[in-house]
Amino acid sequence: MSDLLRIENLTVHFDTDDGAVEAVDGASFSIRPGEIFGLVGESGSGKSVTALTILRLLRPPARIVSGRIAFEGRDLLALAAADMRHVRGARISMVFQSPRTSLNPVLPVGAQLERVIRLHAGASAREARERALAMLRECGISEVERRAAQYPHQLSGGMCQRVMIAMALATSPRLLLADEPTTGLDVSIAAQILDLLRDLGHRTGASILLITHDLGVVAGLCDRVAVMHAGQIVETADVRRLFHAPAHPYTRALLRSVPRVDREFAMEPIPGAVPSLLAPPPGCRFASRCPVVMPECRIERPAVTLLEVDHTVSCFAAVTPVRAGAPAEGGDG
């Protein structure tokens, strides 16, 4: 099956007075039609920058240094601004993490949705109204006529996110970018929003790029996943494989940091912090936090290795396992 989106060797810097912050460094992954793809990592790992780069919404001091983003066969980074405006919204749309601030505070939510439908579908006012109400219903909102007349501040956070999802899907995009869509929502509402995204993805056939720091969310929703650390993709895998046979020490640390009710021992926070991306040292960016770091890790960047179909890793230890009893250098995070 050919890819809907293919990101190749994407590198994005933020220019500062002290030098370039290497926010995304050589990231590559692809998303297939109809799949839910997770991009997971701690805060500051470059996930959101990657999503904004796909939509070409980054502004200076951000700078795309290199890479290619192929979507439906066209390189988005080479598109004219007018063509990119058409892609944005009509073919790719985005759900942000703070729905209330993403909505227009002085316009009823129904009117906002109608505006999007009229703009993209060229619908009449009446058609747009009917379609808007149907979309709100599809997104699990009851009493749609009353809700459509309300302003964002009159709706709960979960309700605002449902409206945002309706707006994002109103143009029948082929790819939906969802950046931490459940931030700030309580657990049961968050679960409902994730269920909604999964159902709508399956029903519409749209692919979803789900950006999250939470592997628990990935487990419940995604087909495949890329793990990002300090601006680099360190592992990609089918979601079952990632959970059953994680190959990268960072992925394993992330898994140990997820709270679970089915085990007695406590979750372990990941030691250390994401390293500074302002002139980062050579070698593996996880070296200062890695429990199995080896001398070569601090010199050379590990190459991407294909472990099996749909499973890649960038780690010396994952392809040359540490021998039992062999002294590891020890993490210093």
Structure tokens at 267: 């979750």
Q: Point out which span in 43-51, 155-163, 251-259, 291-299 binds ligand SF4 (CB under 6 A).
A: 291-299
Q: Where does this chain touch ligand SF4 (CB under 6 A) — which range of 103-111, 259-267, 269-277, 281-289?
A: 281-289
How many Cβ atoms from other residues are within 10 Å of residue 120's Cβ? 16
Q: Is 293 in the site for ligand SF4 (CB under 6 A)?
A: yes
> Residues 31, 166, 226, 292: which binds ligand SF4 (CB under 6 A)?
292
Query: Residue 43: which region, alpha, beta or left (left: phi > 0; alpha: psi -120 to 50)?
Result: beta
Query: Is residue 99 part of the contact set for ligand SF4 (CB under 6 A)?
Result: no
Is residue 270 close enough to count as binding ligand SF4 by CB under 6 A? no
DSSP string, 14-42: EEETTEEEEEEEEEEEEE-TT-EEEEE--
Is 274 among the residues that bind ligand SF4 (CB under 6 A)?
no
CB of 297 to ligand SF4, least distance (A): 3
Nearer CB in complex with ligand SF4: 158/246: 246
Distances from the Cα of 306 to the Cαs of 50, 229, 248, 260, 292, in angstroms?
22, 18, 13, 30, 20
In whole angstroms, how close is the CB of 112 to ligand SF4 at the nearest point? Answer: 45
Residues 202-261 that bind ligand SF4 (CB under 6 A): 248-249
Q: Which of residues 52-81 bind ligand SF4 (CB under 6 A)?
A: none
Please give the structure tokens belonging to residue 222: 């995604």
The nearer residue to ligand SF4, 64 or 319, going by C-beta atoms, is 319
Q: Which stretch binds ligand SF4 (CB under 6 A): 135-143, 181-189, 254-262, 309-317?
A: 309-317
**With contact defined as beta carbons under 8 Å apart, do 111 and 104 qualify?**
no
Neighbours of 55 (CB within 10 A): 18
- Residue 41 contacts ligand SF4 per CB under 6 A: no
Q: Which of 239, 206, 222 is nearest to 33 (CA)?
A: 206
Minimal distance in Å, beta carbon 237 to ligand SF4?
Answer: 15
Could you tell me which residues come within 8 angstroms of residue 304 by beta carbon, excluding any fewer than 6 positions away?
28, 233, 312, 313, 314
Candidates 19-27, 154-162, 181-189, 312-320: pick the segment binding ligand SF4 (CB under 6 A).
312-320
Residues that bind ligand SF4 (CB under 6 A): 248-249, 284, 286-287, 290, 292-294, 297, 302, 315-317
